[in-house]
Every structure is written in structure tokens, then in C-alpha cells.
Chain A
């Protein structure tokens, strides 16, 4: 799709759990990435100061640092504004997700994620980055009134103004906007976003993405809750 397999992307995995680290590394390597693994923040930073990876997958708690991943994320973001980062964590708290994304992470995955799923998310992220450099493909565009979604570049605008949605949020809005008026239940939205989340997480994703649209347009009311069933897009 959007990325060139000829050039091996390098991925750094910072994960203190050796078994997991190796499993992730093996799976990503199998998908053609060049994977380097680090057990803690110190080792990772040492390596990153010499060379930045194309993508960093970071566990939040690192050995004895409960929030080591966040610190690492902040440091990396200071070194590079574009470096894509994915948080990978055993935690599933909303707060962690929000803090991670606010620090500039591009995605947030729990360790429940299956390896193919992880690979898909990594690929999607690379694709998104690559798409920014490619010409627009009209087939990837969804237009619904004021909404324009470019699934190639993973970009969203409302009334021409960009809306910064996370990947999960993007796919949720995308799934709703594809079929306006149709109610999507939570399971369908999870499938669309290719995530395994529980209902309340979907609910908070919806809330958050609504807020993002509302920041641009206080009159935004396109994502409607259908109680007991799910959500739908109304124009």
C-alpha cells in the first residue's frame, strides 16, 4: 500500500518484559521491519542519541520507573517532532491513554493486542506518514457535508479546519460517516477501528472525538447516540 518494502523501516521496542519484547520483535521482524529492543529507558536513550528509529514502541512502565515510558516519550518528542510513537501497556486506564496521547504519542495499544493486530497498526501508522507525502487519492476521500476524511493521509477536516483525531477516533468517525443514518453498535465500531476495547472505552472515545469537533464548531451535532444500540452519523 503506502510504504516501500524495499527500504526497511527501523522500529525500536522499549519493553522491560523480555519475553514480550522478543515476541514483538520477532513478529515485527517477520513483517519486514528492522527491530531493535531495549529493556529500559537508559539503554533506549543511549541508542536514540546516536540514531533515531523510524518508530518507537514504548511500554509505559519500565523496570523500576512506573512512568518511564512517558518520560521517554517526552524526551524523544523533544529530540524529534515527527518521530511516530506507539504506547504499549498492560494498563488500560483512560487516564494513561489520554496522557500518552497528549504527550504526542500517535497510538495507544494495550498488551492484549494480537501480533497481527500490532503489525497492522504499525503498518497503518507508517502508511499515514507516507501518505502525507503522496498525492491525494479521491477513492480514499469521504465527504459528508462539512466533514472531509482522507483515509490515505488519515486526515480529517471540519468546515475546512483540520481535526486532530487519534487512529481509533479516526476509524470510528470514518465508520460512522461512511453510512450516515445507520446505527453502528459498539462492536462494529471496534471492528472498524481494529481495536479490542470495552464499551465504556468506546463511549469515552466518542466523547473525546465529539469534543474535538466541538472545539472547532460549537454547533457540532453529527455523532448521535442511539441508546441501547450504538451511534450514528447524521447530516
Chain B
């Protein structure tokens, strides 16, 4: 795995940041939720305290320790915003709840809803009675059978008064009252203060009635009776029940002064029935930022276990309300009934009057505000962490690229430290840096320096050996000279000749060994002049044709001037060495091809010859001093000095020498690259 990939993976671990951010956001949300709970709870508590100071404005009825029991005929009276029209329809009541079914022993269907304004009590009764039985003229309520609705009121003086609604013709009617006359007979009289509308429908009839509050104390019984005798509802005889639990008029306005927009305040009595309400929840406007909260799914708190909002049109239930009614303020999070997304915070605080809890203030707030906050924080967090991750990835990737480029540079340099020309480059890239790669580069440099020292020692070894051996050789030779001059016997002459031949060979070996250092010296003294390389080549090749008649020479060089600034005699010497080398390996009649081309900012001078190819392992070492290489065709010693001299001369001209095999494998090619000046 490349360093780049490794560091990239390391950089990707910064993706843990958004994850941590989510965790953080969740905790933040929890904290926010708790603080919102506390805030709302204390607000509720404050309102509750304020309300307990003026119980008359909160509770219309005196305290009644008996609980509200619907089955016993207790009635909740909705607060109506405006007096409805008496028309037999309750759509204008604005109550979300359906009328309550009245109990019936014989399956008579009737439903009741009660509402009130400041001055009137409104009744609404639906009766399932397809066969309308009209009220006869002058009816006898005790004996006559007709469809009717009985209503019994507790009057302000505590006495009960019974009325019934019936009609011969549907429409606006008045309640009728039975008056027991002094003779004991009952008489029916209209009560004009109680008006109603009888509406005939397909399945029965509706009755919408209006009763002045002045006539009502706090109890009311309703019973629907069919002509056939079936009935539904509550009769007066049930001593329990029939109580009216009425919302307190004006309480809503009072509550409204306590709350801010977005909060809904409700006051409930000890039964959880709503006495008054104010404010509205802020509608969740989801279309506000449709795409902006895509990451909600990562942070959504699982709300499925939360209780569902227990708010009905007439009452609120729930753990917190129960707690508040028990005297403890409480708050809880609910799921709104409207949609799965809507969260609701509910806080309830008890309203205590004279030390007893008579009701509770319930505040509700949409959780959307909180979500908004969380989302805004999350959006920031996400943006920042993603930016951080992106930066980290980019940075790590750049760093990795940087490092791997540097290592690559070092590797390339190490690969080519010992060039094809046998020269050792001592400078490594990156060695100036203070880090580990720099240290590695410096270690390479030290290694190369040692290698170079060794190479130099090997290079000079020849010269030193040649020098050291010269004196003893001279002694041998001069001794042989003297011996010869003194005169030897004929049979001794053979030995003398052989000894002399030996010294001649030894001397040529020494001369070859010492040649390199002499060449180095003469190179140091060389002078640079401008000359035409092509001219020189043409002249030289003419000479080679004479000198080596066994080989065919071919020359390819630009006709125009190939000016080079350098030492022509050195170039000629270099050419000699290349040609000597080529001739050595060229079979009789073989071709030696010289070619000079301009390539970019260089001249490329190549000498190709027919003959055996060079083993690959040797290619890079041919230009080293004293490299004993190929077996030539003659018996002269080959110390590789010729090519070493080629290299020295090429380097003197800021160029280099390369060896290669011909692509066809049937010969070698030596190329000298000389920069144009």
C-alpha cells in the first residue's frame, strides 16, 4: 500500500468528527430539552401562582371534591367563542369534539353536547328517530306519546324545574313546562326564555336549545324519549350526576396575558377538564428548509416510546397533569397527535387555593423550536466538521504526495547514483532537509562518498602500481641491456630474447596502467577552442580507413557546421579510443558506423560496430577505470582504460558516455553525449 493511500486512510478517520458531532448534538438536544422543560415548568408554576391569587376568575363553581363522572350524567360545558345561531346545526359552535352518546337501556340513539357563552347555555341533541311523532295540541305530558326531550334544571334557588322540548312542526320552538295546577292537574306552558330549534333530518332530528344562564345553577339532566317509549339520557331521579362543569368565561383572556406566542396555556380543573385556554402552538413549517436537514436522520432522537399527547377538546390527560393535580409541577415531552414529526413539550403546575389543589395550569410548546435550534447547531457542526475532514484529507493527501514525491526523488537518485558512465553522483536530493528523509539522503551521501573514495582508489591504483613497478622493471631491462652489450653465448641468447620480450610486455602493461593518470593530467591542461566536430569526424574517419583497412567505416554527420567548444585533440583522442575499442571487437570485413546528430541541446556521437554484444551486467561498468572487460580479438591487454579515457574526455566537455547493445543484438553501440555550447 502506498504511503499516499495509507495517509489517506488515516485522514479519513477524521470522519469520526461528524459522528462525534452527532453525539454532541444529541447531548446538546437533551440539555436543551431539559432546560426548556425547566423553563416551561417554571413559567407554568408562575402562572399557577398568579391564578391561585384570584381563584374567582378561574373557578366558576365552588369546590366540589366529587370527581367528574360522565356515566352519571356529569356534563362538560364547552366555552363557545360566540353565540351560535339557533338552527339545529352545531357547525358554528366551533367545537372539535363530537356530541357524547347518552346512555340508553333500550338502544335509543341520542347524543348531547353542551356549550356556553357569557349569558346562555346552549344544548345540542341529536336523536336517531326516523319516525317523527309530532306533539299533539294541548298535550298531556304524562299520557300522550310523542317524541320529546326532557330537561331538568337546578334553579339558582336550588329547586328543580322540568321542561320538555317537543313540537308539532319542526322549526323554532320554545321549551314547555308542566305546571301542576292547584287542582292537581298538570298544564303545559311555554317558557319563552328558553328557545330551541327543532330540525328534522333523514335519520331523526336535531335540537339546538338556548337557556339563559340565569335560570341555571349547576345541574342539568337531559333525557330523549321516543313516542314508543324508548329513551336515552339521564332522569332527574339520579341524585348523583347532572352536574355542569363549565369553562370559566374570561379565563382565556386572562391566560392570554401570561403567555407568549407559540405557547398554549390551558387551565384544567381537578378532573382535568379545560376551564379556559389561550394561545396556539406554532404551526410546524416543514417546507421551510426541505433539504437542509437531511442529516436529521443521523441525530433523530427515537420518540416512538414517548407518550402521545393526551389532549381532547374537553380535557387534557397525562402523567404531568396527574402529577400537577397531585400537587407537583411536572413537565414531559409528548408526541403530538397531528403528525409523527411534531414534538410537544407540556408542563403542568398545580393551582392551589387554600392549600388544596383545585386545578392546574398546563403549558404546551411545540418542540419545533428546539428542533430548529438543534438543526441550526447541527448544520454548523456538520459544515465545520465536514470542512475539517475535507481539509484534513486534502492536507494528508498533499503531505503524503509530498513525502512520496520526495522518496521517489530519493529512489530515482539512488537508482541512478552510479550512472551508466560509471560516475558516482555524490549529491542526493533532499539532503538539506532536517527530517528523516533528509537523514536518509545524508546517509546515502555518506555511503556514496565512501563508494566514490573506493572507486577513486581503484582508479589511481593503476597509476600507483605502474609507478612503483617501473623502477624494478628498469633494473631488469637495463641489466638485460648490459648483459647483451657484454656479449652472450649463442645458446644463451634465446633466454635473453625471451626475458626481453617479457619486459616489453610488462612495460606495455605498466604503460596502460599509468595511461589514465597521464590522460587526466593532459585533460587538466587542455584548452578549449571552438571547432567543427563534423569536420574533425570526417578527417578522422579518413585516417581510420587507412589505419584499419580490415574494417568498413561509415560516417553520418550533418553537413553544416557542428560547432563545439572544447579540446579538439582530446575529442580526437576520445574518438581513437572508441574506434580502437570497436575495431577490437569487429570481425574482419565488419562495419563500424559513426553517427553525429544534434539532439536537443546535445550532440550525440555514436560509434556502432558489428560483433558480439556486451553482457548486460557489464554495460554500466565499461567506463570504469581498470575494468577488465571483454576478450578482444587481439592479444593486447585490455584494461578498460580506453573507455575510461573516453569517459574522462566526455566529462571534460560536460558530457557523458553510454554503452548499449545494438537493438539487433549483433553488435555494440557507444554513445557520447556532448552539450552544445
Contacts and interface: CB of A to CB of B under 8 A. Distances in A.
A20 interface: yes
Interface in A172-211: 198-201, 203-204, 207
B16 interface: no
A94 B522 CA distance: 7
Interface string A91-106: 1111100000000000
A23 B475 contact: yes
A204 B543 contact: no
Nearest to A91: B467
A226 interface: yes
A227 B572 contact: yes
B576 interface: yes
Nearest to B469: A90
B485 A115 contact: yes
Contact of A30 (B485, B515, B572, B575): B485
Of the candidates B471, B519, B543, the one having the most CB atoms from chain A within 10 angstroms of its own CB is B471
B481 A114 contact: yes
A115 B541 contact: no
B646 to A, nearest CB: 13
Given A114-B481, A198-B515, A228 B470 contact: no
Contact of A225 (B477, B478, B485, B568): B568
B546 A115 contact: no
A228 B541 CA distance: 7
B57 to A, nearest CB: 126
B521 interface: yes
A7 interface: no
Contacts of A111: 470-471, 474
A30 B536 CA distance: 49
Contacts of A94: 518, 521-522, 525
Given A112-B470, A114-B481, A198 B511 contact: yes
A207 B515 CA distance: 19
B547 A115 contact: no
A228 to B, nearest CB: 3
Contacts of A230: 543
A91 B474 CA distance: 12
A228 B518 contact: no
A229 B481 contact: no
A200 B573 contact: yes
Interface in B466-493: 467, 470-471, 473-475, 477-479, 481-482, 485
A115 B478 contact: yes
B547 A204 contact: no
A112 B474 contact: yes
Contacts of A228: 539-544, 547, 572, 575-576, 579
Contact of A24 (B478, B511, B515, B576): B478
A123 B473 CA distance: 24
Interface string A104-119: 0000001110111000
Given A115-B478, A199-B576, A227-B572, A90 B471 contact: yes
B518 to A, nearest CB: 6
Interface in B522-571: 522, 525, 536, 539-544, 546-547, 568-569
A19 interface: yes
A23 B518 contact: no
Contacts of A26: 482
Contact of B481 (A17, A23, A198, A227): A23
Contacts of B515: 198, 200
Contacts of B507: 112
Contacts of A226: 539, 543
A52 to B, nearest CB: 25
Contacts of A201: 518, 522
B576 A27 contact: no
B519 A227 contact: no
Contacts of B479: 19, 23
Contacts of B568: 225, 227
B539 A227 contact: yes
A116 B481 contact: yes
A115 B518 contact: no
B359 interface: no
A93 B521 CA distance: 8
B470 A227 contact: no
Nearest to A201: B518
Interface in B162-183: none
Contact of A227 (B477, B522, B540): B540
A199 B576 CA distance: 10
A111 B479 CA distance: 13
A203 B573 contact: yes
Interface string B570-599: 001101100100000000000000000000
Interface string A206-235: 010000000000000000011111100000
A42 to B, nearest CB: 21
Nearest to B475: A19
Contacts of A203: 522, 569, 573
B533 to A, nearest CB: 10
A27 B481 CA distance: 8
B471 A115 contact: no
Contacts of B471: 17, 20, 90, 111
B369 to A, nearest CB: 98
Contacts of B543: 226-230
A200 B575 contact: no
Contacts of A114: 477-478, 481
B16 to A, nearest CB: 73
B115 interface: no
Given A225-B572, A228-B575, A229-B547, A200 B522 contact: yes
A115 B536 CA distance: 40
B470 A90 contact: yes
B514 interface: yes
A23 B482 contact: yes
A23 B482 CA distance: 7
A200 B519 CA distance: 7
Interface string B115-136: 0000000000000000000000
Nearest to A230: B543
B477 A93 contact: no
B150 to A, nearest CB: 145
Nearest to B514: A92
Interface string A26-65: 1100100000000000000000000000000000000000
A19 to B, nearest CB: 4
A95 B514 CA distance: 15
Contacts of A229: 539-540, 542-543, 546-547
Given A23-B481, A23-B482, A200-B522, A90 B467 contact: yes
B517 to A, nearest CB: 8
Contacts of A19: 475, 479
Contact of A200 (B467, B473, B518, B536): B518
Given A115-B485, A201-B518, A204-B525, 12 more contacts: A20-B478, A92-B470, A110-B470, A112-B511, A115-B478, A200-B573, A225-B569, A225-B572, A228-B543, A228-B572, A229-B542, A229-B547
29 contacts: A19-B479, A20-B478, A23-B482, A27-B481, A27-B485, A30-B485, A90-B470, A90-B471, A90-B474, A92-B467, A92-B514, A93-B521, A111-B470, A112-B470, A112-B507, A114-B477, A114-B478, A114-B481, A115-B478, A199-B573, A225-B572, A227-B543, A227-B572, A227-B575, A228-B539, A228-B540, A228-B543, A228-B544, A229-B542
The 4 closest A-B pairs by CB, nearest first: A228-B543, A228-B540, A229-B543, A115-B481
